[in-house]
């Protein structure tokens, strides 16, 4: 277990944190860079989206990223980024880094980035572009680093399992999308402005956002993501039972936090039952006490 612990420590050192004393303007610019929403890249993004929506073969890592970035940008129309404590956002990114570097699929086109959403709602989202968005309400509900890691691992699992990409592939099968794809090709060929492309793809991207924010993934996909999350947690040396821990918290807080996970995920009771079926496969030495001071430092 010392090897795993050392790996996690090295992951933390390798990631460069936001400077505590940075000015608010610089923090905002850094956050924009981290999330990949650079204004000068918009035209390139929409060009890639033209191709992604109209081609029939498998999407490349770059195309998957651009689609995920569009989804993340639209989710940010529902939520405001949390800016008050940059060190907390950095802490979640460090946890994410430890999980990713020890996972079986550490590569996405532009890396993984965690952003906290300034909302008391209990919810989290993971886009195909590697963007992991976690509400402040969920961060505050999790009462250990392992529980926070479980939340992030679940979203990483959705990305690894390509659940967002499956939505796109299913959308391609519909007549509306096919027709929209034809129009997209025509507009792209005429050199339409980024604004025109933005309007064209708004409907398709909105469907993906609705699947995450309003309707949620299918129950089978959520169960699959929970099972993969156990694997990701164990590989990084986290306690897989941290997922049970956070689900128990969600179960307790369901009544006082309407919306969020309540409407987009299966009930915590069902998820706990699913997790318990495979939890016994993973045996990780209990090192949670070593992470407790770090958790307290960043969350209290």
- DSSP-assigned states of every residue in 87-151: HHHHHHHHHHHHHHHTSS----TT--EEEEE--SS--EEE-TTSEEEEEHHHHHH--SHHHHHHH
Residue 97 reports pLDDT greater than 60: yes
Q: What is the pLDDT of residue 216?
A: 72
Q: Are 104 and 159 in contact (CB under 8 A)?
A: no
Alpha helices in the chain (DSSP H): 2-14, 24-35, 42-54, 61-75, 86-101, 136-141, 145-160, 163-172, 175-189, 194-209, 219-235, 242-253, 261-264, 268-278, 288-299
DSSP state of 256: G
104-132 per-position pLDDT tens digit: 887 777 889 999 999 999 889 998 889 99
DSSP state of 279: G
Confidence of residue 242 (pLDDT cuts 50, 70, 90): very high
Strand partners, 256: none
What average pLDDT does range 162-167 have in this prediction? Answer: 76
What average pLDDT does range 42-58 have in this prediction? Answer: 53
Separation in Å, CA 11 to CA 95, 104, 151? 8, 16, 18
With pLDDT > 70 as the criterion, what percentage of the chain qualifies?
A: 62
130-140 per-position pLDDT tens digit: 999 999 999 99
Q: Are 124 and 139 in contact (CB under 8 A)?
A: no
The alpha carbon of 100 is separated from its chain's Cα centroid by a whole number of angstroms, namely: 12
Residue 187 reports pLDDT greater than 60: no
Q: What is the pLDDT of residue 250?
A: 86
Separation in Å, CA 168 to CA 56, 98, 264? 11, 29, 18
Confidence of residue 267 (pLDDT cuts 50, 70, 90): confident
For tokens 């402040």, the residue is 136
Q: What is the pLDDT of residue 219?
A: 84
How is residue 36 written in tokens?
């990949």
Tell me how many degrees the CA angle 11-12-17 measures, rounded to the nearest 5: 130
**Helix, strand or coil, per DSSP, at residue 174:** coil
Confidence of residue 50 (pLDDT cuts 50, 70, 90): low
Closest by CA position to 66, among listed 86, 82, 45, 85: 45
Q: State the pTM of this model.
A: 0.74
Phi, psi (deg, nearest 5) at residue 44: -65, -40
Residue 51 reports pLDDT greater than 60: no
């Amino acid at each position: 277990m010392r090897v795993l612990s050392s790996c996690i420590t090295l992951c933390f050192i390798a990631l460069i944190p936001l400077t505590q004393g940075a000015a608010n303007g610089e923090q905002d610019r850094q956050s924009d860079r981290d999330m990949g929403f650079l204004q000068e890249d918009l035209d390139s993004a929409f060009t890639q989206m033209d191709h992604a929506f109209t081609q029939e073969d498998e999407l490349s890592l770059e195309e998957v990223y651009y689609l995920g970035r569009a989804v993340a940008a639209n989710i940010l129309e529902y939520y405001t980024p949390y800016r008050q404590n940059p060190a907390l956002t950095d802490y979640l990114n460090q946890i994410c880094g430890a999980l990713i570097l020890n996972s079986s699929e550490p590569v996405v086109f532009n890396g993984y980035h965690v952003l906290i959403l300034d909302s008391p709602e209990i919810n989290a989202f993971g886009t195909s572009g590697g963007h992991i968005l976690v509400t402040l309400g969920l961060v505050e509900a999790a009462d250990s680093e392992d529980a926070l890691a479980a939340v992030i691992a679940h979203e990483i699992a959705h990305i690894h399992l390509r659940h967002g990409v499956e939505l796109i592939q299913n959308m391609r099968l519909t007549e509306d999308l096919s027709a929209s794809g034809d129009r997209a090709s025509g507009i792209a060929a005429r050199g339409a402005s980024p604004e025109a492309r933005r309007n064209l793809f708004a409907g398709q991207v909105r469907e993906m956002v609705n699947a995450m924010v309003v309707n949620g993934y299918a129950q089978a996909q959520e169960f699959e993501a929970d099972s993969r999350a156990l694997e990701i947690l164990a590989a990084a040396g986290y306690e897989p039972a941290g997922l049970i821990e956070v689900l128990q918290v969600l179960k307790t807080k369901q009544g006082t936090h309407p919306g969020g996970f309540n409407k987009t995920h299966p009930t915590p009771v069902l998820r706990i039952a699913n997790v318990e079926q495979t939890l016994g496969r993973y045996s990780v030495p209990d090192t949670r006490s070593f992470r407790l001071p770090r958790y307290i430092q960043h969350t209290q």
